[in-house]
Amino acid sequence: MDVGATLAKLATRRPGGEFSFDLLPAGALETVARGIRDLSPGSVGLTGCGAGRLEQQLDLPTRRFIEFEAWGAGAHQLLSAQPTGTREPYLLVSLGTGTSILRVAEGHALRLGGTALGGGTILGLGVALTGCKSYEELCRLAQRGKRGNVDLLVSDIYKPNEIPLPGEITAACFGNLARWLTPQSDEAGTAEAIDPSRREDLAAAVMGLVGENVALICAGLARGAETERVVYGGATLLENPTLVAILTNVTSMLGLTPVLLPQGGFTGAVGALELAANSDRAGRAPSVHLRPDG
């Protein structure tokens, strides 16, 4: 279980090696704990910022792991089944409520940096701007949006070939909104502020704000870390094709190879599971935390 600031990600492996996955609200820890107890697991691996709180709700053998360690182990497990394998080194990007960026090499994950831009930004800013009631609604809305009605593009301020940059590159996130704040005269000579944006455009622009900046930060860190592959995962990418497209397109444009983790929203949970299983096989005694009532 990877208990984040917003979501609790559950990975279960049954006899025979088959994985199953589930998402639960991180704020309802008793519900999460009840769901784990109902599975009657042989062992439980925990990670994430809420792992300690959940551990106190369980009367089961548990092992708790640092988030970055769990992410490294989970990415290795998820990539090992892919044709490209786990060629190291690579940059591992955890897109959760915020974003952490790790360098994975020789089986070890080292955090290089991160950004406060992430799923929390998308949900908080997106809801404030569009009135959406859920993350899922916001992602669907963004698919229909046109960022050019909100963002200022290079082509909006430079003529073709006037500067050595593609016209479709963003010059300023949300910069086009500043233009309609300046009153413009209509045919009758009446000064009127014109807002060209729609809810779907605002939703798409929020995805662009987060996606482009995360990809740019990753590119800088990747070059400094002498890596060419950028592996993206995290619950923020689940059912979010707009953000996925922005991340992969910008990463490729910057000369790097983007890789999307299969079931990447559950990378930390898979890693905690793998680390707990490895500890069990090594014969180390698990820690047991009892609830206050027993």
Residues taking part in catalysis: 67
Please provide residue 209's backbone torsions phi and psi, each rounded to the nearest 5 degrees: -55, -50
- Angle, in degrees to the nearest 10, between helices 135-142 and 199-224: 90
DSSP, res 264? G
The widest CA-to-CA distance across the chain, in whole angstroms, is: 83
CA distance 200 to 220: 30
CA distance 86 to 78: 9
Burial of 180 (0-12, 13-18, 19+ CB in 10 A): middle
Position 59, amino acid = D
CA atoms of 72 and 76, how far apart (whole Å): 6
Pairing of strands 44-46, 61-64: parallel
Residues 6+ apart with CB under 8 A from 45: 1, 62, 63, 64, 65, 70, 271, 272, 273, 274, 275, 276, 277
Phi, psi of 218 (to 5 degrees): -65, -40
Q: What is the DSSP string of 70-109?
A: HHHHHHHHHHHTSTTTT-SSEEEEEESSSEEEEEEETTEE
